[in-house]
Structure 1
C-alpha cells in the first residue's frame, strides 16, 4: 500500500483481520472505518469493511461497500468475488451471473472465480456445469481447497463416493484438537492395537449421523477409542458400543496414550464407503430405558403421537431455506386424534405455546436438557416430522420413523438426488422435497400422507 500513512494502514488492516478471525465484527468495522478516514479511495478498505458488515448480517451495507470498492477499482478481484458471493447468498442469481461474467472477462485465470461460478451453477442445480467450473479451478490451482470442497458436494449428492469422499477431505479440520493431541492425524493406515481419538466437527446432526462409524472403527482393531463432542450430545453418545471415553468440548481430554486422531466425516473415506457398504445397522444409538418410561408417563394419551421440529439452528448458512417460517406453516397437519409433540429447543420453542388453531401440541421443552432427553422422548412417538436438522438424524439413529422436509435451495448432499428414501436410515425415512413453489405444496403432501397413517393406526 503506497499511501501517506502506510504503517498506520497496515496496522489497521491487521487489526481488522484479527477482529474478523475472532468474530469481533464491530471491532473490525471500527478498524476499517479508521482506515477509510486515512485513505477514503482505497478499494481494499471498502471491500474489507464489506466483509465485516456481511459477517454482522448487515447485507445491504455490505453490498454498498463492495460496490463502492468496484467503483474505485472495477478490476478488483476480491471485490468482484465478494459481491458475487453475496448475490448468490441472496439468490439474486441473474445479477450474480452478470458479476461473474464481468469478472471472467478480466480474470479468466483466477481459480477462486471459477470456484465461485461453480457454486452459482450448483445453486441453480446445473451440476454438470458446476462440476466443469470447479474442475477448471482445480486445474488452475490443484491446491484450491475451497473448490475441491465444493466439488465434493456435487460428487456426493450424485453418489459418486470414490472421488467424493476424497474431495471432502479438503474441508477445514480442527487445528485445536491437533494442538491438544501429540499424535498425527489418521490417514487410513492400519488401526490394529492403536488408540484413536475422534474429534468434534460441524453441527449436532452431522455428529449424530457420522458416529455410526465408531463401532466400525472399533472392529478394525482399535484398542482404545475416544470421542470428543458438544456437551448436549455427551450422554446420548455414551450408548455407543465400543467407545472407551466420551469427552465434551471444553473438558480435558484424558491421556489414554493416543496414537492417532481423526474427524467423524473422514471415516467414510478411510473406510472406503460405497452405496452398498453404507453402515446402516439401525439403531446405533439407544435411549436410557428409565428415561423412556418417564416420558411415557408424561405424554398425554393419544391414538397417534407425532413429534414436530420446524426450525434448526439460525446460525446455519442455509437456515432461511431449510427451516420453516414458523409453526403456523404446519397448521394443515391438524387433525382430530393426533397429538403433536414439540421437539423444538432454543429460539423457536416458545411458538409451541401459541399453536395454530386445531393443532393440538404438547410442549415438553422444560424437561429437555440435552439430546439424551429428546431421544428418550422420541422412543414414545409414532412418527417424527422435521426439517433437515439434528432431529432427523436422532430419530434415524434411534430407529424411529421419520419424515424429513427438504429445501429446494442447497439441499444437503447426504440426501442425494431424486430419492424419497435414505440409504443412511433404510426403511425409516421418507423424504419430502420442496420444489420451486415454496413449502405449501410440500405440507399438503405431508398432510395427506399423515391422514393415511392416522387411518391405518385407527384400523389396526
Structure 2
C-alpha cells in the first residue's frame, strides 16, 4: 500500500495500479480470481483510465465484503481513496479516507491523507484541522507539519506557516525522527528542500526578503529563531 502511494506521489500511476492489484490478489485472492476470469481482455499495458477502473472495481468488491464500520477494512478504503485521488475525484477520495479514519481514528497517516485531499478540494480550514489532528497523534510527523505550513500560507497565515516549517526543519536535525514523507498523499522526494523552499515563500509573502539568503540546507534552526525572532 505504501509503495502504491509513493508511485502515485511520483506520477507513476500505472505502476501504482499494478501494485494495488497485487495487494488485492494477496489479501482477497477470491475477488481477484473472479475478476480475472471476467476481464480476461484487459492487459497491463492498457491506458491508465482502463487500468484504474479495473483496479477500482476490485477494491469496491473488497469493500462490499464488509460494509459496516465495525468490520470494514481500513486499508481497502485507503486504496480506494488513492485510486480516486489519482483521477482527481476528490469528493470520493474524501469519503474513503474518512471511512479509513472511522475504522482507526488514531492513525496519523490517514488524517494527513484526509488533510491533503481537503486541501485539493479547496477546503483549507478543514485541511488545517486534519493536519493538526495528525500532529496531535504524531508530533514528529514532518510531512503533516509541512502540509500544515502550506495550508497556512494559502490562508495568508504566514507567521503560523513559518512556525510549522521551522519546526519541521528542526526535526531533520535530529537523527531517528520518522517523518512519514512517503506515506502521505502528494509527498516530495526531498522533504528538507521542500521545507526550505516553502519557508522562503512564506518570507516573501511577509516581505522579509532579507531572510531569504539565511534560509539554506543545514541551517541551524535554533540560532535562526533567536536571531530573527521566530
Contact 1:111 1:140 in 2 (8 A): yes
* Distance in 1 of aligned mates of 2:80 and 2:89: 11
User: How far apart are residue 68 of structure 1 and its match?
Assistant: 0.8
User: How far apart are residue 80 of structure 1 and its match?
Assistant: 0.6
Contact 1:100 1:117 in 2 (8 A): yes
- Secondary structure at the residue paired with 1:125? coil
2:169 corresponds, among 135, 138, 141, to 138
Contact 1:119 1:150 in 2 (8 A): no
Match of residue 193 from structure 2: 148
User: How far apart are residue 56 of structure 1 and its match?
Assistant: 0.8
User: How far apart are residue 165 of structure 1 and its match?
Assistant: 7.2
Larger strand percent = 1
User: How far apart are residue 81 of structure 1 and its match?
Assistant: 0.8
Match of residue 30 from structure 1: 57
Larger helix percent = 2
* Distance in 1 of aligned mates of 2:195 and 2:136: 23
Contact 1:155 1:163 in 2 (8 A): no
What aligned pairs does 1:140-289 form with structure 2 within 5 A after superposition? 140-141=171-172, 145-146=190-191, 148-155=193-200, 158=204, 159=209, 160-162=211-213
User: How far apart are residue 153 of structure 1 and its match?
Assistant: 3.1
* Distance in 2 of aligned mates of 1:58 and 1:37: 20
- Secondary structure at the residue paired with 1:136? helix
TM-score (norm 1): 0.30
CA offset digits 1:267-304 (Å, max 9, x no partner): xxxxxxxxxxxxxxxxxxxxxxxxxxxxxxxxxxxxxx
The aligned length equals: 157
Contact 1:32 1:48 in 2 (8 A): yes
Moved over 6 A (4+): none
Match of residue 92 from structure 2: 61
Q: Which runs of 5+ in 1 are unaligned?
A: 13-17, 168-460
Contact 1:134 1:147 in 2 (8 A): no
Distance 1:88 1:161, change over 3 A: same
* Distance in 1 of aligned mates of 2:140 and 2:193: 17
* Distance in 1 of aligned mates of 2:165 and 2:28: 33
User: How far apart are residue 50 of structure 1 and its match?
Assistant: 0.9
User: How far apart are residue 64 of structure 1 and its match?
Assistant: 0.8
Contact 2:62 2:76 in 1 (8 A): yes
- Secondary structure at the residue paired with 2:94? helix
CA offset digits 1:430-455 (Å, max 9, x no partner): xxxxxxxxxxxxxxxxxxxxxxxxxx
* Distance in 2 of aligned mates of 1:47 and 1:94: 22
Q: Which has the higher contact order (CA 8 A, sep 6+)?
A: 2
CA offset digits 1:306-339 (Å, max 9, x no partner): xxxxxxxxxxxxxxxxxxxxxxxxxxxxxxxxxx
Match of residue 155 from structure 2: 124
User: How far apart are residue 48 of structure 1 and its match?
Assistant: 2.1
CA offset digits 1:152-175 (Å, max 9, x no partner): 0331562455466759xxxxxxxx
1:8 matches 2:35: no
User: How far apart are residue 90 of structure 1 and its match?
Assistant: 2.5
Distance 1:161 1:101, change over 3 A: closer
User: How far apart are residue 108 of structure 1 and its match?
Assistant: 1.9
* Distance in 1 of aligned mates of 2:106 and 2:82: 18
* Distance in 2 of aligned mates of 1:9 and 1:62: 22
1:104 corresponds, among 128, 135, 139, to 135
Contact 2:24 2:58 in 1 (8 A): no
User: How far apart are residue 52 of structure 1 and its match?
Assistant: 1.3
Match of residue 79 from structure 1: 110
* Distance in 2 of aligned mates of 1:78 and 1:10: 23
